[in-house]
Amino acid sequence: MTENQISSLVQTEIEKTLLGGERKYTRSDIAEKSGLPLERVVQLWIAMGFPVHTDPSAVVYTDADLDALRLITTLTEQKVIKPEMEVAIARTLGQSMSRLAEWQVAVVNSHILDRITIHSDGEDPTDLDVIRRDARSIAAQTVPTLEALQSYTWRRHLAATAGRSVTGPTEETSGRILAVGFADMVGYTSLTRRLGIDELTTLLEEFESIATDIVARGRGSVIKNVGDEVMFSAQSAEDAAHIALDLQHAFDAHEDMPELRIGLAWGSVLARYGDLYGSVVNIAARLTSSARPGTILVDTAMTEMLDGDSEFHLKAIRSLRVRGFHKLKPHALRRSTDDQPKER
């Protein structure tokens, strides 16, 4: 039996464990059993990031799929979420879980393939029943651990976010006053042409690890990582400035890492499903792309918030003409001294 055939068989067995049983419903079946219009079922299914089978009569849904549809519509019926937000929430959940699943599969897949070839004396490693048994066993051991860790992390983030928002807006989408920053690795595109897959993986892992650590220690939040760039926020201009300066210092200390360029802006943003939107976000992004390697640019509002703070040195630079904004008047941000970053 080839490795591809073994992988396919393993996937089938693991799928049964994850999805709570066999696929046994068609699209019409799932709509009838859930009590939802077919159009709404398809819309929610697509929003969660799953492809719709080209054959309407294909048996592709399980009891777990049926339960999930009932859960999300129950939230609407209980008025936890508004009907018009149902699809957007399903989409956000699907996108987040898809990214999470990618790395989880990458972590455990090689472990599973290695384990299924280890058998007791006398067992044939190509025996179909042995492979099915081992795949089910490994999935039963691994998945609950990942699920428990995932649930704990989600609850911890939920508690932290609820704490920050307890006195703020309670709508699903809301306006907030924040500092927004982007940190971008210089020369990343050319690097991708020279680095192998393993080297690129190491570079991105180190970038995300350093950035996440510094943002968290600086009382900020990582909004998202997009390849060579991290987007973060902070509730005070001072915290955002310290984060930016600490990021620059950390990457300067790593000779094998590219230089960073960073842009910061301050003001009202739209917080929507874990992401941020608005002109403040756009300004921070434009400043980042305009910054020279190894420098930090801040907008006028951020400059005013930091003005008078002896820890920071702000130097006006020439106005920038960028798409979408007539004229930006940024300042370059540095520490007032050459001291090392301080613990806060």
- Structure confidence by residue, pLDDT tens digits, 159-213: 776 655 544 444 444 578 999 999 999 988 787 788 888 888 888 888 888 999 9
Sign of the torsion formed by the C-alpha atoms of 333, 336, 341 and 344: negative
- Of residues 199 and 134, the one with the higher pLDDT is 199
Q: What is the DSSP letter of 343?
A: P
pLDDT at 299: 94
Please compute, for residue 62, the number of CA atoms within 13 A of its CA located in the half-sphere on the CB side.
Answer: 10
Tokens representing 236? 């005070």
| pLDDT-wise least confident of 22-26, 61-65, 130-134, 303-307 | 130-134
pLDDT at 324: 64
Tokens representing 289? 């792309």
Tokens representing 203? 């570079």
User: Given pLDDT bands bounded at 50, 70 and 90, which one contains residue 154?
Assistant: confident
pLDDT at 170: 44
Pinpoint the residues of the chain covered by CATH 3.30.70.1230.
Answer: 173-335
Provide φ and ψ at 185, rounded to 5°: -75, 125
User: Given pLDDT bands bounded at 50, 70 and 90, which one contains residue 108?
Assistant: low
Check if the beta carbon of residue 69 is closer than 8 Å to that of residue 41.
yes
Tokens representing 283? 């300004």
SS3 315: strand
* Domain 173-335, CATH: 3.30.70.1230
pTM above 0.75, yes or no: no
- Closest by Cα among 281, 283, 271, 278 to 175: 271
Query: Dihedral, CA atoms, 313, 315, 320, 323, nearest 10 degrees?
Result: 10
Contacts of 320 (CB under 8 A, 6+ apart): 286, 287, 290, 327, 328, 329, 330
Interatomic CA distance for residues 184 and 244, integer angstroms: 11
Q: What is the DSSP letter of 61?
A: B
pLDDT at 132: 67
SS3 93: helix
CA angle 332, 285, 305 (to 5 degrees): 45
